Structure 1
Amino acid sequence: MVQKRRGGAYRGKGKEPSLFTVKAVFILDNDGNRLLSKYYDPELYPSMKEQKNFEKNVFNKTHKADNEIAFLEGMTIVYKSSIDLFFYVVGSAQENELMLMSVLNCLFDSLSQILRKNVERRCLLDNMEGVFLVVDEIIDGGVILECDPQQFYRRSTTE
């Protein structure tokens, strides 16, 4: 039996919607090298080798594509590129693409504000502490906390 819901379908009985929406977030450079990654599902890719292999496969599938969404290894992946960076948000195959895209847009827009619209590899590496803070403020353990970059930016400038 397949239960339908907006944005996808649940496979089998007993699968309930979960707050644990995001499986992973990572940022790669133009060559597919990891600059930042956070995996929220310990069973998904438990070893560093498996994670890097997954990231390489994702990069190979997406770095020349003009799309914003990909499906690979049973995962829904939304992505965006900027100058020499690729931003990825990964969810399960059943996940709502619009939710994942809102996380991706919040991440990109928040970083754009913090990096003063200079979202490129060098600036990202120079401000890595802020980049990790942005990711941690948007997602906690796979749960989406914030999708509005303006709220995040206001909160970070008043603290």
Structure 2
Amino acid sequence: IETSTKKHTPQQKRRKSGSRTMTLVSSLPPLTPKIDAILVLDGDGNRLAGKYYGDFLTDTSSASARAAAAASGEDNGASVSKTMEDLRSAFERQLQSKIQGIAARPDAAEVVSVMGKTAVFCGGSPGQQGGGGDVRVVHIGPSSESELVLAHLVEGVYDALSHLMGGATDRTMVLDNLELVFLLIDEHCDGGIILETDGAKLASAVLLRDDDGAALMQAEQGAGQGQGGKPTGAPNMGAIAAGDMTIGQAFRQAREQLISNLAQRDGM
């Protein structure tokens, strides 16, 4: 009985191996960067704006919450007695202790490690001076995320913030335009998933949404003033569901409501 064994040349083996590798790579989904938090801090480490995503300091039962509680030196068990805001403040204090006195150029982000997370930031003032210096934009990501990717993300957001603030990225300017900062965060990231990274495009998108909100508010005010020739109080936002309002529209509604209430009180 004759048996024949089919042998492959080294070239054929490489060709088959290569085709198998290409098929495997092409079936993988595209890599999308994901972040755990975006923070805008003043020179003293106080949070001016920011958002936390996923399970990072968003639930007291999460591992990150227990780690933050243990790091604060007060909670060491499996249960966390502190509020989530306290845990976030503790994390931000640890972050500030590592980035204080470091000034990162807008095109050269700096990297530190905090509680097992990678923190990449732009902005800040050199030395130990406090909140009068530039604010810092900080991106928090998992330790497995590429530092170069996180640096690219934070540099884009800082560039957009600088455009929106007219180049004056200090605490006072940011607080005076806080609604634009929240809009910027929303345009950049949704639920930890990155939507846009280009600074110019981010700034344009924020200004467009802000203009749309202002135009809508003026139209609603005009409709209210048309009834009886005087304002009827708060702007009529009934046509917009609360869940459909942008942050800018919500800020404007609250501001106009306050102004209207003060005007009515003074007129009595």
Per mean C-alpha deviation after superposition, the further-off stretch among 47-56 and 147-156 is: 147-156
Q: 1:80 to 1:155 in 2, by over 3 A?
A: closer
CA contact (8 A) 1:80 1:88 kept: yes
Displacement of 1:155: 3.6
Give the SS at the match of 2:184: helix
After superposition, where does 1:66-105 map in structure 2 within 5 Å?
Answer: 68-82=110-124, 83-105=133-155
Q: Which residue of 1 aligns with 2:164?
A: 114
Q: In 2, distance between residues paired with 1:48 and 1:20?
A: 26
Listed as ranges, the gaps of 5+ residues in structure 1 are: 1-15
Q: In 1, distance between residues paired with 2:193 and 2:114?
A: 21
Per mean C-alpha deviation after superposition, the further-off stretch among 58-67 and 28-37 is: 58-67
CA contact (8 A) 1:22 1:143 kept: yes
CA contact (8 A) 2:33 2:145 kept: no
Q: 1:97 to 1:130 in 2, by over 3 A?
A: same
Per mean C-alpha deviation after superposition, the further-off stretch among 78-87 and 52-61 is: 78-87
Q: In 1, distance between residues paired with 2:183 and 2:96?
A: 24
Q: 1:156 to 1:61 in 2, by over 3 A?
A: closer
Q: Which residue of 1 aligns with 2:107?
A: none
Q: Which residue of 2 aligns with 1:22?
A: 35
Q: 1:123 to 1:51 in 2, by over 3 A?
A: same
Q: Tell me the TM-score normalized by structure 1.
A: 0.81
Higher relative contact order (CA 8 A, sep 6+): 1
1:122-150 Cα deviation digits (max 9, x unpaired)? 01000000010001000110001101112
Per mean C-alpha deviation after superposition, the further-off stretch among 81-90 and 98-107 is: 81-90
Amino acid at match of 1:131: V
Q: In 2, distance between residues paired with 1:156 and 1:37?
A: 16
Q: 1:38 to 1:157 in 2, by over 3 A?
A: closer
Displacement of 1:33: 1.3
Give the SS at the match of 2:36: strand
CA contact (8 A) 1:26 1:88 kept: yes
1:1-22 Cα deviation digits (max 9, x unpaired)? xxxxxxxxxxxxxxx9863611
Q: Which residue of 1 aligns with 2:174?
A: 124
Displacement of 1:30: 1.5
Q: Tell me the TM-score normalized by structure 2.
A: 0.50
2:51 paired residue among 38, 43, 46: 38
Displacement of 1:62: 1.0
Q: In 1, distance between residues paired with 2:114 and 2:205?
A: 35
Q: Which residue of 2 aligns with 1:142?
A: 192
Q: Which has the higher strand share?
A: 1
Q: Greater CA radius of gyration, 1 or 2?
A: 2
Counterpart check, 1:62 vs 2:99: yes
Aligned length: 143
Q: Which has the higher helix share?
A: 2
Amino acid at match of 1:27: V
Q: 1:158 to 1:136 in 2, by over 3 A?
A: closer
CA RMSD across the alignment: 2.0
Listed as ranges, the gaps of 5+ residues in structure 2 are: 1-28, 60-83, 105-109, 125-132, 210-268
Q: 1:158 to 1:38 in 2, by over 3 A?
A: closer
2:89 paired residue among 52, 59, 80: 52
